[in-house]
C-alpha cells in the first residue's frame, strides 16, 4: 500500500468517523427528548438484557453452572448475543432504556465500516463506498430502528460484517490473510446464529454459491477453510443450540404463525410478493431511490446505441453478487407467514451499496450538484421522520420522541409493592389491559429496573382458571373503564376486573390516574401467604419456632398450616425446610424453601440481624396413607453446602382421618403441586402436566420451585433411592431445567426401581434424541415396545430416530 493510498484511507476513515458522529448526535438527541415508556417488544428485550446484566454480576468463565445459567436465559428463537452486547453499556452507564440503547452506536459503527470496506472491495471506488455509508445514516428505516431497542439492528450489523468477510474471503489467495479471514468468518457465522437463528437466511445463498464455485474450480484448500469456519461457528453457538434446540424450533414456529393472526398477506398471493417492494421507497427515502434509478436510466440511454459496452460491464460480477444476495433474502423472507419491515432489515446495507453504485454511475458537475441536493433533501427527510419539524412532508412512518412517560405511574406502582414487601420478591398479576404502555411486559421491565424485586405476569384469559390465578398471585393491577371491546376478549377482561374488585381476600392498595383519565388500581392480599419482618432477637441460628395446625387433618384434602421460622437473613434465604409428618412407615413430606423461595431484597442486599418468616400454607395428605396419629420432624437443608441439620421443634402430633371437612386453606406450594404431577408422569399422562407447569412458571417467575425440588429430592434419594415419587418429581424438575446429563442418570436409575414401566424407557429415548444420541434411543424404544407395543408415540419416535441416524453426531 503506497503513501497516497494510505493517505486516502486515513481521509476516508475521518469521513466515516464524521458520519458516525452525526448519527450519534441525531440518535442521542432523540433519546434526550424522549421520555416514553418502552412498548411490548422493547420492554421484553430490555428485561432480558437486564437479566443478562444480572448474571454477569457473578461472572465465572470457568464455571459450567454459570454458562448453563447463561444459556438458559434465552430458550426461544431470541438468542442471547445481542443482550450480552448490551451488558457492558448497562454496567458503564446505568440500567435504563437510554443507556441500553447506546449499544446501537456500536452497531452503527459496524454497519458503516463494513459497507465501506465491502464497497471498496467490490467496486474499487471510494466514492461509492462512502456514499453507501452515508445512505446507511440517511435511510429512514435505519434511523427509526437506531432510535429503538430491538434485536433487528444488531442482527443487521452482524450480518453485514459477516457478509463482508465472506465476500473478501472467497476471492482471497490462500495465505496468512485467507486463514485469518477463515477464523473471523467462522466467528461471524456463529454470532449470527447466536443473535437470531433465522439470521443465516441472509447469507445462505451466497454461502452455497461460494461453496459450489470452490467445488467446480477444485479449490480444495478453500473447502477445508469453509469446514474450519463452520466448526468455529458451531463452537461459538453450539452449546446454546444443543441446550435449547427444541424450544427454539417450537417458539420460531409459533412466532411464524403470528402473521396469520395479524392478517399478513400469504406468499401464495400477489400481495404477499409485493409486500416488501411496496415499502422500500419509504424505507430508503424517496429522494435517494428516485435519483439513483433516474441516473441509471440516463446511463442506460447514454450507452444504448454505443458500440463500446465496457462501461456497462465494469463491476458486473460485483453487481450480480449483491443482487443475488438481495433477491434470495427477499424470496426467503416473503415465503414466511409473518411479515414486517424489521424482518428484512439486514438487506438494507446491501441496498445501500446497490443504490450508491447507481447514484455514482455518471460523473459530471451537474450530476454532482444533483447528488448533493439529494443528500441534503434526504437529511431533511430523516430529521422530519425523527423529529416534529415543519420542514417537508415525511414519507413513511414517523418515530417522534414522546414525553408522556412521566404521566404513566408504572414506577409508582412498583415502588408501592416494594414498600409493602421490603424483604420479598413479588409477582404482579396483570389483568389484560389495552395499551402498549401498561401491560405485563412494561410492568415486568419496571420491576426488573427495581433490582428485580417485582415480576409482571399476565393474568389468565381462561375464566375457568381465573380462580386459581386469584389464589396464587398476591398482587394485581387492573384498569378501570376497560374499553367496550367487541367480542369475547372485551367481555373476559371486564369479568376478570370484576373478580378482582369483588374478591374478599383482596384490598385496594392504591390507584393512579392514567393520561386518558382512566384509573390504574393496585390490589394485594389482605393476609399474605408469606410475611417477613426484622426482630430484635440477635440469634442467627435457624429455628422453627411455631407450627399452627388443626389437631385433625383430612385425607386427600388441602389442610391449612402455618410455620414460623427465625434466623439470620442469609440462612433463611438459602434454607429449605425438609418437613416430614410420620406414623411408623407411613409419612408425607411438606418440603419447601423458607418463604417459598421469595426472600429477596436486591442483588447485593444482605441485611444484618435476625428475621422472622411466617408462612401460611397448605399441606396435602395423600389418600393412600392410613389414618392415625402423625408426628412432625424437621430438617434445615442449606443450599450453599447441601448440609442438612436437625431442627429443634415443639412436639406436634396430628390426627389424620378420612371423614369431616377441611378448613379453608391457602393454595398448595408448587413443590407439592409438582410432586402430584409426577404421579401422572409415571403413568404416561402428559397432556395435563405441561399446561399446569406453564401456570406454575407464571406464579413463580424465577422457577425457584424447580431448584427446591432438586435439593430436596437429591437429599431424600441418597437415603431412599427407591422412592419413586421423589424420582419422578426430580425428572420433571430436570426436564424443565434442561439438565440433560443429570436427567439421563436419574432415568437410568428409575429403570432399576420401576423396570416394568414402559414410559421410563420412552422418556429416556426422548432425552437421548434431544441429546442427539439416536443409537441409545433406539435401544430404549425397543424395550418400551416389548413392554407396551400400543403406545401411540412409538411410531413417531422411531421415525425421528431413523432420521437422526443420518445426521452428524452432535454431542456435548
CATH code of the domain in which 490 resides: 3.40.190
C-beta of residue 289 within 8 angstroms of C-beta of residue 280: yes
Question: Domains in the chain: how many in total?
Answer: 4
Alpha carbons 68 and 730: distance in angstroms, whole number: 18
For the entire predicted model, the pTM comes to 0.93
How many CB atoms lie under 10 A from the CB of residue 307? 5
Residue 394 has pLDDT above 60, yes or no: no
pLDDT value for 200: 94
Residue 253 lies in a domain: no
CATH number reported for the structural domain that contains residue 769 in this entry: 1.25.40.10
Same domain, 267 and 176: yes
Q: Count the residues in the chain.
A: 812
Alpha carbons 416 and 413: distance in angstroms, whole number: 5
Q: Which of the listed residues 611, 630, 657 is the one where a domain comes to its end? A: 657
User: What are the tens digits of pLDDT across the range 83-118?
Assistant: 999 999 999 999 999 999 999 999 999 999 999 999
Residue 575 has pLDDT above 60, yes or no: yes
Residue 170 lies in a domain: yes
Give which of 758, 769, 771, 770 is closest to 801, Cα–Cα. Answer: 769
Give the three-state DSSP class for 87: helix
Same domain, 602 and 726: no
Residue 231 has pLDDT above 90, yes or no: yes
Residue 4 has pLDDT above 80, yes or no: no
Distance of CA 8 to the CA centre of its chain: 44
User: What are the tens digits of pLDDT across the range 703-715?
Assistant: 999 999 999 999 9
User: What are the tens digits of pLDDT across the range 643-696?
Assistant: 999 998 888 999 999 988 888 899 999 999 999 999 999 999 988 898 899 999
Same domain, 637 and 685: no
Same domain, 675 and 795: yes
Residue 688 lies in a domain: yes
pLDDT value for 520: 93
Same domain, 521 and 372: no
Q: Which of the listed residues 525, 556, 586 is the one where a domain comes to its end? A: 525
pLDDT value for 303: 72
Same domain, 166 and 197: yes
Same domain, 460 and 372: no
Tell me which residue range forms the domain holding 696. Answer: 670-805
Q: Which of the listed residues 657, 689, 714 is the one where a domain comes to its end? A: 657
Residue 308 has pLDDT above 60, yes or no: no
Q: How confident is the model at residue 193 (pLDDT cuts 50, 70, 90)?
A: very high
Residue 810 lies in a domain: no
Same domain, 108 and 15: yes
Same domain, 210 and 163: yes
pLDDT value for 315: 81
Residue 360 lies in a domain: yes
Alpha carbons 206 and 325: distance in angstroms, whole number: 6
Mean pLDDT computed over 483-506 = 76
Q: Helix H segments across 722-792?
A: 724-736, 740-753, 758-770, 774-787
Distance of CA 511 to the CA centre of its chain: 31
User: What are the tens digits of pLDDT across the range 596-627?
Assistant: 999 999 998 999 989 999 999 999 999 999 99
Give the three-state DSSP class for 530: strand
Alpha carbons 169 and 784: distance in angstroms, whole number: 51
Strands (E), 467-505: 475-479
Same domain, 632 and 577: yes
Residue 393 lies in a domain: no
518 versus 257: the higher-pLDDT residue is 518
Give the three-state DSSP class for 662: coil
Residue 311 has pLDDT above 60, yes or no: no
540 versus 607: the higher-pLDDT residue is 607
Same domain, 510 and 575: no
Alpha carbons 676 and 711: distance in angstroms, whole number: 18
Cα-atom radius of gyration of the chain, to the nearest Å? Answer: 31
pLDDT value for 391: 61
Mean pLDDT of the chain: 91
Residue 419 lies in a domain: yes
The cell numbers describing 283, all together, are 424505507
Give which of 786, 738, 617 is closest to 239, Cα–Cα. Answer: 738
Residue 650 lies in a domain: yes
Residue 536 has pLDDT above 50, yes or no: yes
- Torsion angle of C-alpha atoms 105, 109, 114, 115, degrees rounded to 10: 90
Residue 509 has pLDDT above 60, yes or no: yes
pLDDT value for 288: 96
Same domain, 511 and 457: yes
pLDDT value for 810: 45
Alpha carbons 289 and 175: distance in angstroms, whole number: 40
pLDDT value for 268: 84
Q: How confident is the model at residue 207 (pLDDT cuts 50, 70, 90)?
A: very high
CATH number reported for the structural domain that contains residue 624 in this entry: 2.60.40.770
Mean pLDDT computed over 332-359 = 94
Q: How confident is the model at residue 76 (pLDDT cuts 50, 70, 90)?
A: confident
DSSP annotation of 424 reads B
Residue 204 has pLDDT above 90, yes or no: yes
pLDDT value for 807: 59
pLDDT value for 434: 64
Contacts (Cβ under 8 Å, ≥6 apart) of 33: 387, 401, 403
pLDDT value for 809: 45
Q: How far apart are the first and last CA of the chain?
A: 46
Amino acid at each position: 500500500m503506497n503513501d497516497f493510498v494510505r493517505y486516502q484511507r486515513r481521509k476516508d476513515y475521518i469521513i466515516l468517523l464524521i458520519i458516525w458522529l452525526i448519527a450519534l448526535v441525531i440518535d442521542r438527541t432523540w433519546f434526550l427528548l424522549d421520555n416514553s415508556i418502552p412498548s411490548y417488544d422493547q420492554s421484553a428485550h430490555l428485561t432480558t438484557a437486564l437479566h443478562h446484566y444480572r448474571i454477569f454480576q457473578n461472572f465465572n468463565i470457568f464455571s459450567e453452572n454459570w454458562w448453563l445459567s447463561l444459556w438458559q436465559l434465552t430458550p426461544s428463537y431470541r438468542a442471547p448475543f445481542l443482550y450480552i452486547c448490551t451488558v457492558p453499556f448497562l454496567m458503564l452507564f446505568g440500567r435504563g432504556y437510554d443507556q441500553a440503547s447506546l449499544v446501537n452506536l456500536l452497531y452503527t459503527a459496524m454497519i458503516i465500516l463494513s459497507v465501506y470496506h465491502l464497497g471498496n472491495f467490490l467496486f474499487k471506488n471510494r466514492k461509492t463506498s462512502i456514499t453507501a455509508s452515508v445512505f446507511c445514516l440517511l435511510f429512514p428505516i435505519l434511523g427509526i430502528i437506531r432510535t429503538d431497542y430491538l434485536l433487528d439492528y444488531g442482527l443487521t450489523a452482524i450480518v453485514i460484517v459477516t457478509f463482508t468477510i465472506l465476500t473478501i474471503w472467497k476471492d482471497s489467495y490462500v495465505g496468512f490473510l485467507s486463514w485469518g479471514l477463515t477464523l473471523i468468518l467462522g466467528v461471524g457465522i456463529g454470532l449470527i446464529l447466536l443473535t437470531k437463528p433465522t439470521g443465516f437466511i441472509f447469507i445462505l445463498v451466497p454461502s452455497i454459491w461460494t461453496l459450489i464455485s470452490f467445488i467446480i474450480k477444485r479449490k480444495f484448500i478453500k473447502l477445508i477453510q469453509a469446514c474450519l469456519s463452520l466448526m468455529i461457528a458451531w463452537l461459538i453457538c453450539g452449546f446454546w443450540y444443543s441446550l435449547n434446540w427444541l424450544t427454539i424450533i417450537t417458539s420460531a414456529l409459533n412466532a411464524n404463525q403470528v402473521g396469520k393472526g395479524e392478517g399478513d398477506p400469504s406468499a401464495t398471493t400477489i400481495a404477499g410478493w409485493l409486500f416488501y417492494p411496496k415499502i422500500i421507497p419509504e424505507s430508503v427515502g424517496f429522494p435517494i431511490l428516485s435519483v439513483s434509478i433516474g441516473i441509471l436510466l440516463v446511463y442506460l440511454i447514454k450507452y444504448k446505441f454505443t458500440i463500446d459496452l465496457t462501461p456497462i460491464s465494469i463491476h458486473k460480477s460485483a453487481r450480480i453478487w449483491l443482487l443475488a444476495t438481495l433477491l434470495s433474502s427477499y424470496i426467503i423472507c416473503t415465503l414466511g407467514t409473518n411479515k414486517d419491515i424489521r424482518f428484512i432489515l439486514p438487506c438494507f446495507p446491501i441496498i445501500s451499496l446497490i443504490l450508491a453504485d447507481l447514484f455514482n454511475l455518471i460523473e459530471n458537475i451537474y450530476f454532482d450538484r444533483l447528488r448533493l441536493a439529494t443528500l441534503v433533501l434526504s437529511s431533511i427527510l430523516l430529521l422530519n421522520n425523527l423529529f416534529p419539524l415543519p420542514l417537508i412532508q415525511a414519507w413513511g412512518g414517523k418515530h417522534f420522541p414522546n414525553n408522556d412517560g412521566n404521566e404513566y405511574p408504572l414506577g409508582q406502582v412498583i415502588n408501592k409493592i416494594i414498600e409493602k414487601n421490603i424483604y420479598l420478591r413479588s409477582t404482579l398479576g396483570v389483568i389484560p389491559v389495552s395499551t402498549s404502555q401498561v401491560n405485563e411486559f412494561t410492568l415486568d421491565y419496571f420491576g426488573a429496573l427495581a433490582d428485580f424485586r417485582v415480576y409482571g405476569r399476565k393474568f389468565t384469559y381462561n375464566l375457568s382458571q381465573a380462580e386459581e390465578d386469584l389464589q396464587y398471585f398476591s398482587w394485581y393491577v387492573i384498569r378501570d373503564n376497560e374499553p367496550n371491546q367487541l367480542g369475547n376478549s372485551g367481555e373476559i377482561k371486564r369479568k376478570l376486573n370484576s373478580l378482582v374488585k369483588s374478591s374478599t381476600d383482596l384490598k385496594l392498595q392504591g390507584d393512579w390516574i392514567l393520561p386518558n383519565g382512566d384509573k390504574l388500581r393496585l390490589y394485594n392480599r389482605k393476609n399474605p401467604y408469606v410475611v417477613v419482618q426484622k426482630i430484635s432477637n440477635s440469634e442467627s441460628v435457624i429455628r422453627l419456632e411455631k407450627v399452627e395446625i388443626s389437631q385433625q387433618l383430612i385425607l386427600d384434602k388441602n389442610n391449612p398450616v402455618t410455620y414460623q421460622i427465625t434466623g439470620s437473613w442469609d440462612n433463611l434465604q438459602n434454607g429449605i425446610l425438609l418437613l416430614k409428618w410420620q406414623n411408623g412407615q407411613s409419612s408425607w413430606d411438606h418440603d419447601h424453601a423458607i418463604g417459598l423461595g421469595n426472600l429477596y431484597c436486591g442483588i447485593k442486599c444482605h441485611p444484618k440481624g435476625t428475621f422472622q418468616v411466617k408462612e401460611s400454607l397448605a399441606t396435602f395428605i395423600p389418600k393412600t396413607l392410613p389414618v392415625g396419629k402423625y408426628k412432625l420432624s424437621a430438617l434445615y437443608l442449606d443450599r450453599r453446602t447441601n448440609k442438612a441439620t436437625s431442627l429443634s421443634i415443639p412436639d406436634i402430633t396430628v390426627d389424620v382421618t378420612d371423614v369431616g371437612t377441611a378448613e379453608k386453606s391457602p393454595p398448595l406450594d408448587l413443590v407439592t403441586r409438582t410432586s402430584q404431577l409426577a404421579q401422572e408422569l409415571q403413568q404416561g399422562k402428559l397432556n395435563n402436566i405441561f399446561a399446569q407447569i406453564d401456570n406454575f412458571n407464571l406464579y413463580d417467575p424465577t422457577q425457584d420451585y424447580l431448584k427446591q425440588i432438586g435439593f430436596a429430592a437429591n437429599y431424600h434419594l441418597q437415603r431412599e433411592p427407591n422412592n419413586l415419587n421423589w424420582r419422578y418429581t426430580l425428572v420433571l424438575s430436570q426436564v424443565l431445567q434442561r439438565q440433560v446429563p443429570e436427567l439421563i442418570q436419574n432415568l437410568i436409575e428409575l429403570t432399576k426401581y420401576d423396570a416394568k414401566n414402559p414410559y421410563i424407557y420412552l422418556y429416556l429415548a426422548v432425552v437421548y434424541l434431544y441429546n442427539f444420541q439416536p443409537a441409545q434411543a433406539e435401544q430404549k424404544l425397543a424395550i418400551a415396545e416389548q413392554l407396551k407395543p400400543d403406545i401411540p408415540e412409538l411410531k413417531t419416535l422411531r421415525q425421528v430416530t431413523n432420521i437422526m441416524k443420518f445426521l452428524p453426531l452432535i454431542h456435548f
